[in-house]
Amino acid sequence: MITETHGLTDEQSKFAELVRDFADQVVSPAAYRFDTEGRLPVEIVHQMGELGLFGLPFPEEVGGQGGDYVTLCLAVEALARVDQSIAVTLEAGVGLGIMPIYRHGTDAQREQWLPDLVAGRTLAAFGLTEAGAGSDAAATRTTARLEPGEGGAWVIDGSKQFITNSGTPITSVVTVVAVTGSATGPDGSAAPELSAILVPAGTPGFVVGPSYDKVGWHASDTHPLMLNGVRVPAANLLGERGRGYANALHVLDEGRIAFAALATGAAQGCLEEALRYAGERTVFGASIGSHQHVAFTLARMQARVHAARTSWFDAAQKLVHGLPSKAEASVAKLVASEAAMANARDATQIFGGYGFMNETPVARHYRDSKVLEIGEGTSEVQLMIIARDLGLTA
């Protein structure tokens, strides 16, 4: 098989192997049980925190590991091989939960929230998507008004949907994007002013709805949120007023790289399982892997993994070196999510009837992988971004 190092440091290679061992020894044996129970295993999340996974890309002065985004992506990929639910808990917990507070928070906000978040003792969530607003953030209907006078609070009303890590027993805070006024768009027309506000879990009027009955990612925590007259201090504004969506786009661009690493891990997991089964399963006196059609299918699966990993690594390297990476992130997300879906389909076919049984990893990957083409920007959104980078109107 192709051995890929992508110029990793010895430290990064050893760390990736450490997380891979953790995934095989701790996460994988429990994956089917928690998938069946539809419950995020908080105990495993805490173990991930003890390994330093949630603090990977953050400096030591805020309790982090002093690593970079490449190292985070290596950890996400290693986990996704065996359990996408656990991998997305880390990916969203860092990229959507911690990163906005680290990048845009005040010193007081960072001191309040970061120590427990980067240690994996608590989780944070990012509330952007609504029933009628996801890719089109201008359609956001959640509002926040600032009460006049000294000591005035933000009063938030609205709802959010499909919010990861929003209702766990250890969720501490949710960043909510809301309309805080009106602004002038690039063409001179009126546009909503969008701002981000920190809403602590348990705030009166902040209601976490029942967990979704999802096709996949059963052990990942996902809920709708309702905000009914939620009052939080004016100091809970995260970043500049009116910069909520711009800052969110920055977060999403970065997040797509880690999401691509997650999809690559899923594609790799499908390949490993299918390769193992093809060597064990015999028909007509020979292993099915000895048949050209199965061998060629596995070869295509390997090619997809290689392309996906090369794509996310290229985007991540550009990001950590301060180079433009928006289009590269979209390419990585598009290529890797398609690779995960295709490899899940092929692996299930190689497994035959066993591939239709939920206790097999390939069956879970088959269910889990579809959302990779939807979450953190659909494939259509990625194509739009790539087309615009080519100078096309899309």
Known catalytic residues are 376
Instruction: Tell me the three state secondary structure of residue 322.
Output: coil
**Positions of E strands within the chain:** 123-127, 143-146, 153-164, 171-184, 190-200, 206-208, 222-233, 237-238, 282-283, 286-287
Which residues on neighbouring strands pair with residue 222, listed in sequence order?
164
DSSP state of 207: E
Task: For residue 79, give the nearest of 251, 214, 264 by alpha carbon.
Answer: 264
**Contact 204/259 with Cβ under 8 angstroms?**
no
The token duo for 141 is: 């209907």
* Residue labelled with tokens 């064990």: 280
Q: Secondary structure of the chain: what % helix, strand, coil (to 5)? A: 55, 20, 25
Contact residues for 106 (Cβ-Cβ < 8 A; gap 6+): 235
Backbone phi and psi for residue 226, each to the nearest 5 degrees, phi listed first: -120, 135
Sign of CA dihedral 239, 166, 338, 288: positive
H or E element: which one contains 57? none
The token duo for 37 is: 């129970």
Sign of CA dihedral 77, 79, 81, 84: negative
H or E element: which one contains 347? helix 326-351
The token duo for 152 is: 């005035």
**Contact 352/363 with Cβ under 8 angstroms?**
no
**Contact 236/197 with Cβ under 8 angstroms?**
yes
Which residues on neighbouring strands pair with residue 177, listed in sequence order?
196
Considering only CA atoms, give the Rg of the chain. 21
